[in-house]
């Protein structure tokens, strides 16, 4: 235990010394990693907010089943009962042809005179179907719609599918793009950290040689460098997080119109504490991995 | 638990050891020798004779191409990579070019040998002070190594090699960069370590040192031991 504490103390001191020893290299690496993480984080924010919107839309999702013309009241009640038994359906509200006309009339308000010339009621009877909470997603909606489709008496099912599916496709595309960008930037970060550590190893080759001569173990030599990469990654991620927050605060009001078009009245949100932790942890992990890679590559020579 | 070898066993044994860096040429060729515990041995011979290679084999900086090396009863040719640090903590090594970190203090340079063993900082300070006193540099412990003269730097390197109370002290041309007065100063310190029971192997070109200290001398030529002269033969 004491040995571990002494070694950790040495490793921490050596890592700090290493970071201070070449402030320009350290600074450039920090800024470059931070910029990469800002880009990854920006994509993350976009995807998170779009996903949030889709989730909120999902909560309001309902299916309207328009019924065949001339369906009797008895068949309507039977169909409503049958629909109620479909898995994923929470409640079914029956709207007769008369109810539909009345609702339409109410919606027209002052222009209700438009309906005066109608010789017959053109509106179909319908069932307003709400979903159980677990089904309130695009996928869940599709399952329920497939179960309802083909039930006798149902003419057409409407659930705003075009908008929902289009939005889900856009989200999936942005998420895919985000993952691609994150992978490329993670690789770039690995290379940056790896090269910074390689420079540090080169600058301290005398120290490494002497440590080896006096009996330092491989881990004793390497842990300070791993710690250096880890620290660089963590600091860069914190910088990126700060920068993202500043950008979020500055850009949100000036892009209000665009955001409203994209998200409706929902206001954009910043990362949750857990997501922030994930971003910082990713930076730290990539930093440590970059320095480990520098040693693996160095070890092969 | 490993049994310690009997103290009467030779401390170093080399059996038919060869080292080749390139096919067909040998830095060392079929060398067999023994060095007793506490013995002081000079290695001499022209440049390229294999003195440095022999020392490197002893602290496992190189592996022999053939043969076996037994150090304090343990075959170090079979040592795995992770076993080397433990071996080196029992060995002190001094080089012609000192191998110090110029921007670090004398205390830090010497303390490195204790840090790698996980010695607590307070103990490091007291042991470093003690060994620096032995080499007469306690008053310069906070000075940067690069601010010291050549002789002082070699004394710091020697202090670093001795701070762990090594069983074996290896010195590769330790006085090669020093003037005659400083040479004797350093050699006296090495000899006094030998007098305290440390096994010492010193590689040197300097025949005057061999005459002066009258110790066993192994003369190497083209990678082979050409002459093994005991202390008595030298002094005669």
Give the gap in angstroms from C-alpha B125 to the nearest C-alpha of chain A: 14
With beta carbons under 8 A apart, name residues in chain B contacting A214: 88-89, 112-113, 116, 160, 164
Segment B109-162, tens digit of pLDDT = 999 999 998 898 899 999 999 999 989 999 999 999 999 998 899 999 999 999
With beta carbons under 8 A apart, name residues in chain A contacting B115: 6, 10
Ranking A6-20, A141-155, A249-263 by mean pLDDT, the lowest is A249-263
Class of A62-158 per CATH? Answer: alpha beta
CB contact under 8 A, B87 and A215: yes
Highest mean pLDDT among A86-90, A181-185, B79-83: B79-83
Over residues A76-89, mean pLDDT:
85
Give the gap in angstroms from C-alpha A298 to the nearest C-alpha of chain B: 16
Q: Where are the domains of chain B?
A: 100-165
Sheet holding B168-172, edge to edge: B91-95, B168-172, B199-203, B40-44, B216-221, B224-229
On whether the CB atoms of residues A70 and A62 are closer than 8 A, the answer is no
* ipTM higher than threshold 0.95: no
CB contact under 8 A, A215 and B86: yes
Segment A211-225, tens digit of pLDDT = 999 999 988 888 888
Quote the mean pLDDT of chain B. Answer: 90
Question: Which of B81, B118, B160 is the closest to A214 by Cβ?
Answer: B160
pLDDT of residue A301: 39
Rounded Cα distance, B127 and B89, in Å: 15
Tokens of B22: 């390139």
Over residues B190-202, mean pLDDT:
93
Over residues A129-156, mean pLDDT:
80
Quote the mean pLDDT of chain A. Answer: 81
Q: B93 to chain A: nearest residue by CA?
A: A213
CB contact under 8 A, A210 and B112: yes
- pLDDT classification of A300: cutoffs 50, 70, 90: very low
CB contact under 8 A, A6 and B119: yes
Question: Which of A9, A210, A218 is the closest to B101 by Cβ?
Answer: A210
Bridge partners (DSSP) listed for residue A93: A128
- Length of chain B (residues): 236
Name which of A34, A293, A36 is nearest A186 in CA terms. Answer: A36
Name which of B38, B24, B41 is nearest B220 in CA terms. Answer: B41
Rounded Cα distance, B38 and B192, in Å: 11
Q: Where are the domains of chain A?
A: 2-57+165-300, 62-158
pLDDT of residue A298: 54
With beta carbons under 8 A apart, name residues in chain B contacting A210: 99-101, 112
Name which of A23, A147, A19 is nearest A88 in CA terms. Answer: A147
Percentage of chain B with pLDDT > 90?
70
Segment B8-50, tens digit of pLDDT = 678 999 999 999 988 888 999 999 999 999 999 999 999 889 9
């Amino acid at each position: 235990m004491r040995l571990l504490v002494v070694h950790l103390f040495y490793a921490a001191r050596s890592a700090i010394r290493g970071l201070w020893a070449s402030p320009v290299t350290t600074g450039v690496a920090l800024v470059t990693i931070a910029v990469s993480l800002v880009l990854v984080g920006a994509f993350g924010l976009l995807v998170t907010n779009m996903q949030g919107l889709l989730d909120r839309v999902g909560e309001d999702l309902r299916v309207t089943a328009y019924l065949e013309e001339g369906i009797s009241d008895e068949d309507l009640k039977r169909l409503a009962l049958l629909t109620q038994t479909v898995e994923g359906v929470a409640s079914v509200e029956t709207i007769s042809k008369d109810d539909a006309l009345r609702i339409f009339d109410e919606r027209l308000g002052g222009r209700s005179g438009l309906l005066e010339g109608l010789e017959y009621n053109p509106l179909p009877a319908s069932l307003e179907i709400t979903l159980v909470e677990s089904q309130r997603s695009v996928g869940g909606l599709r399952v329920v719609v497939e179960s309802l489709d083909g039930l006798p008496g149902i003419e057409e099912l409407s659930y705003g599918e075009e908008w929902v599916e289009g939005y889900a496709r856009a989200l999936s595309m942005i998420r895919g793009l985000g993952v691609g960008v994150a992978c490329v930037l993670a690789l770039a970060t690995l290379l940056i950290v790896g090269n910074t550590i390689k420079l540090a190893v080169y600058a301290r080759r005398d120290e490494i040689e002497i440590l080896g001569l006096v009996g330092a173990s491989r881990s004793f030599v390497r842990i300070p460098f791993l710690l250096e990469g880890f620290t660089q990654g963590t600091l860069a991620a914190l910088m990126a997080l700060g920068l993202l927050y500043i950008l979020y605060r500055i850009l949100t009001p000036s892009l209000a119109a665009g955001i409203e078009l994209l998200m409706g009245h929902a206001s954009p949100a910043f990362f949750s504490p857990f997501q922030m932790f994930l971003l910082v942890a990713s930076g730290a992990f990539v930093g440590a991995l970059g320095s480990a890679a520098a040693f693996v590559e160095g070890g092969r020579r | 638990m490993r049994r310690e070898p009997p103290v009467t066993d030779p401390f170093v044994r080399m059996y038919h050891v060869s080292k080749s860096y390139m096919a067909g040429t040998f830095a060392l060729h079929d060398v067999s020798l023994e060095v007793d515990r506490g013995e002081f041995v000079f290695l001499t011979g022209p440049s390229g004779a294999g003195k440095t290679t022999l020392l490197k084999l002893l602290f496992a900086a190189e592996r022999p191409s053939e043969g076996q090396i037994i150090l304090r009863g343990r075959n170090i040719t079979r040592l795995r990579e992770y076993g080397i640090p433990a071996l080196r903590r029992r060995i002190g090594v001094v080089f012609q070019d000192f191998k110090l970190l110029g921007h670090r203090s004398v205390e830090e340079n010497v303390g490195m040998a204790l840090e790698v063993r996980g010695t607590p900082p307070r103990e490091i300070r007291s042991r470093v002070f003690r060994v620096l006193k032995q080499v007469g540099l306690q008053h310069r412990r906070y000075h940067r190594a690069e601010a010291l003269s050549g002789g002082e730097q070699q004394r710091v390197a020697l202090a670093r090699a001795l701070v762990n109370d090594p069983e074996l002290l290896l010195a590769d041309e330790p006085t090669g960069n020093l003037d005659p007065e400083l040479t004797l100063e350093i050699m006296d310190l090495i000899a006094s370590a030998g007098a305290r029971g440390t096994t010492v192997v010193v590689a040197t070109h300097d025949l005057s040192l061999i005459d002066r200290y009258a110790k066993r001398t192994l003369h190497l030529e083209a990678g082979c031991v050409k002459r093994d002269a005991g202390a008595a033969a030298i002094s005669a």
